[in-house]
Structure 1
Amino acid sequence: MNYSGLYSPFILNRSLSEEDIKYHLKQDFTGMGSSDSLALDDAVVIKINSTYLELVDKYYNDRGMPDVFAFILSLAPFMSAIFVAYQFILELVKTTSSLATLILYALFFFPISMAMAIFFCRLLRKSWFTWTHYPVRFNRKTKMVHVFKVDGTIISVPWREVFFTRGRAGRGAMPEWSIDGHILADDKQTVIDTFSLGFSNTRRELVKNWAFVRSYMEVDDCLNELADIIALCPPVADKKESYIFGLQYLLRVESRIEWVFRIILSPLILLGSVARFVAMRTSKIPRWSQDVEADCRVEADDPVNVSAANNPKHLWRYVLANQSLDEYNALYQRQSQAMYRLWEKVQAKVRRQ
């Protein structure tokens, strides 16, 4: 998972890197390949209507899983320090020969253990007692992007002025990629702020994720197609997700073949679901400012209104790829036909440029 911007801050006040420029995701359709015209639902859309598209952040996907390790790694050195201190004190009561050992412990082992505990507690604090998620809104009508940042502040920037690119986490054989939006200074080269969209995937799959957002903002008469592509929306717009939904979100698979891996990982996933629930219960729901809400006012009779209210009826069956044949075929036909219609509209726009 790409956690840049959460556990480690984005590097700001720097020039665009060669990699930023190489993997630039343009708002227009110049130089696009055939694969760029596809759109992919990745269960990150909170709401979509004729006015705005709202996405969860990239950290939401695995929320709770890193917390398990942070909790264990913060608790273990703390408890070991207390236990060893207790043992040394008992020895000290019996004999004064342990005085030198106790002093050595007080000067070295105990401070190091407590420093480790504090370090991992600070990592845990990045998820607990914060915000349930960090949404990003794309206003189709005003061409504005509204971002709820990890520090609770809100920034708004014109869609065309954001430099979108693919951000990499890790340098191994299989790095995690994200879609990062850089806000540039007047020189159009210096990065003064950065945010990420709710996608963390392979570099190739991110192109499809980007196509979904770009189509929403740039392609006329595509809202019905985009709405038909979406199958699952996190129910976090104005409330905290339930424990059951958090567990379902962590367990979701695309095919029954993945059941084997989910069974193997089930103990870890169950622990992660508990940590996720704690994170959600202790965190606040993000609220947009009055200016943003005024900018994103939705018409009462808006024909496009997709949210968690439209989630599959049998959600357990959907997240475990175990829908009935009729339900699966109906969803597959709806999504595939919508993607084809969207592809045609994108191609028509490309020909007009």
Structure 2
Amino acid sequence: MGLSKHLSLPSGRRMNAYELSNVLIKGKKAHDAPNDHLSVVEINSDYLEMVDRWYAHKGHSLLYAIPLLALLLFVIVLFFTATLEKNEIEAWYFFSGMTVFILPFLYFGIRLFLLEGFKKTYYPIRFDRKKQEVYAILPSDSFLKISWHDLNIHVAENKQSVTLSSFYEVRGFILDNETGVIKQSITLGYPAWGEYDDAVSLWEFIRIYMEEKNAYEKCSEIVKVCMPIKERKESLRFSIIRGMALLAPNYALQFLSSPITVLFIWCRILSIKTSQLPVWPEWVNLQHKDIVRDEYSKQSKDNTENNFWEETWLVICFVVGSLVSLALILWAGYKYWLMYQ
């Protein structure tokens, strides 16, 4: 939701009963344990930059699109080969009909791939603490600038992937002052696979940074890892770490599930490598050009070194999982080839 105009965030209507009953109030403490949930790219005394709600799941649409496209192309090649061998007018008519039938599914697969492939590596959201403004680069190649005080914020419920479970995010609405109709929506924060309480704790992290006098220092202490994606693409190493993070710290499960997990990680890598870095408007860069760095400023270069279990073990799982998955694919292909000999 939100990556495509066909699955856009809410607009053109009033807030519904659920949204109104889950409003988050500025200036009011919402949680005792604020948490950034691995969402921060950079934090300093001027601004807080965070990842978008799709970053944690980067590559999911490719995970569905690639098998679909591979299957459809395989079917087309199979029918084309059979038609060439028979080389009769009826066979060519049948092949033409099958191709026309498959084309809509092929188009759907391509659009699914392009939800994350050849797009932006991520869509940053920047909270300007001093100017009390929020900036965001959106998937529609547009840019959002809004006063912090003009955002109507609530906990939104959504579905992820093919699961039936509910997950939650912090969503902001820009309302028409006269009619109360939603003009635009934006997700301000998303704890990956998060429960309701996680979304509220993320909101509290954002709120105190923007509103409380000495909260910048407190928020900085909360942030343990900054995402290493500012002005560069996510590295292969970090894609592995991020892809395996869901199962941490269950090291045995990380290893056993690696043949499946690596499929998602490879799709994540492909989506990132084919995408372009986001670029802020020049006036935003100029506005934040001369940032004063202090002891509480944090970027990815300030991250602590990962230990064996946080990095090396994950790389081992990734390599083993990739080899197992490749072996299974080759074995399946070989068995299929034998069937037609």
Work out the CA distance in 2 between the residues paired with 1:180 and 1:204: 14
Q: Label 1:295 to 1:21 Cα distance change in 2 as closer, same or farther (>3 A).
A: farther
Instruction: Report 1:26-37 matches (<5 A).
Output: 26-29=25-28, 32=29, 36-37=31-32
Q: Label 1:207 to 1:198 Cα distance change in 2 as closer, same or farther (>3 A).
A: closer
SS at match of 1:306: coil
Work out the CA distance in 1 between the residues paired with 2:128 and 2:313: 33
- Name the aligned partner's letter for residue 49 of structure 2: E
Work out the CA distance in 2 between the residues paired with 1:19 and 1:274: 37
SS at match of 1:232: coil
1:289 pairs with 2:281: yes
Instruction: Report 1:114-153 matches (<5 A).
Output: 114-153=103-142
1:218: Cα distance to partner? 1.0
For each residue in 1:131-150, what CA deviation from the matched residue of structure 2 results, as whole angstroms up to 9, or x when unmatched? 01000000110000001101
- Name the aligned partner's letter for residue 231 of structure 1: K
Unaligned runs of 5+ in 2: 315-341
The match for 1:22 is: 21
Contact 2:60–2:268 (Cα < 8 Å) also in 1: yes
1:216 pairs with 2:216: no
1:276 pairs with 2:277: no
Q: Label 1:236 to 1:137 Cα distance change in 2 as closer, same or farther (>3 A).
A: same
Instruction: Compare 115-124 and 184-193 and name the one that shifted more.
Output: 184-193
For each residue in 1:200-256, what CA deviation from the matched residue of structure 2 results, as whole angstroms up to 9, or x when unmatched? 421121110111000101111122221111111111111111111111111125753
Two-structure CA RMSD over aligned residues (Å): 2.3
Instruction: Report 1:203-282 matches (<5 A).
Output: 203-253=196-246, 255-256=248-249, 258-282=250-274
Contact 1:243–1:273 (Cα < 8 Å) also in 2: no
Instruction: Report 1:196-207 matches (<5 A).
Output: 196-200=187-191, 201-207=194-200
1:57: Cα distance to partner? 0.7
Contact 1:252–1:319 (Cα < 8 Å) also in 2: no
SS at match of 2:156: strand
1:317: Cα distance to partner? 3.3
The match for 2:318 is: none
Work out the CA distance in 1 between the residues paired with 2:183 and 2:144: 12
SS at match of 2:154: strand
1:301: Cα distance to partner? 4.4
The match for 2:81 is: 86
Contact 1:248–1:319 (Cα < 8 Å) also in 2: yes
For each residue in 1:139-183, what CA deviation from the matched residue of structure 2 results, as whole angstroms up to 9, or x when unmatched? 110000001101222110000101112222239862122211111
Work out the CA distance in 2 between the residues paired with 1:57 and 1:278: 18
Contact 2:44–2:293 (Cα < 8 Å) also in 1: no
Work out the CA distance in 1 between the residues paired with 2:158 and 2:14: 19
Q: Label 1:319 to 1:254 Cα distance change in 2 as closer, same or farther (>3 A).
A: farther
Instruction: Report 1:110-189 matches (<5 A).
Output: 110-170=99-159, 174-187=165-178, 189=180
1:71 pairs with 2:66: yes
Q: Label 1:289 to 1:195 Cα distance change in 2 as closer, same or farther (>3 A).
A: same
Work out the CA distance in 2 between the residues paired with 1:320 and 1:202: 30
- Name the aligned partner's letter for residue 104 of structure 1: F
- Name the aligned partner's letter for residue 263 of structure 1: F
- Name the aligned partner's letter for residue 3 of structure 2: L
The match for 1:10 is: 9
Work out the CA distance in 2 between the residues paired with 1:295 and 1:280: 28
Same amino acid, percent of matched pairs = 20
Work out the CA distance in 1 between the residues paired with 2:257 and 2:179: 45
Contact 1:24–1:166 (Cα < 8 Å) also in 2: yes
Work out the CA distance in 1 between the residues paired with 2:116 and 2:143: 19
Work out the CA distance in 1 between the residues paired with 2:152 and 2:179: 9
1:47 alignment partner, one of 23, 42, 52? 42
1:38 alignment partner, one of 30, 33, 37? 33
The match for 2:320 is: none
Work out the CA distance in 2 between the residues paired with 1:319 and 1:40: 23
Work out the CA distance in 2 between the residues paired with 1:299 and 1:213: 20
The match for 2:335 is: none
SS at match of 2:284: helix
The match for 2:330 is: none
Q: Label 1:158 to 1:66 Cα distance change in 2 as closer, same or farther (>3 A).
A: same
Q: Would you say how many aligned residue pairs link Structure 1 and Structure 2?
A: 308
Unaligned runs of 5+ in 1: 323-353
1:128: Cα distance to partner? 1.1
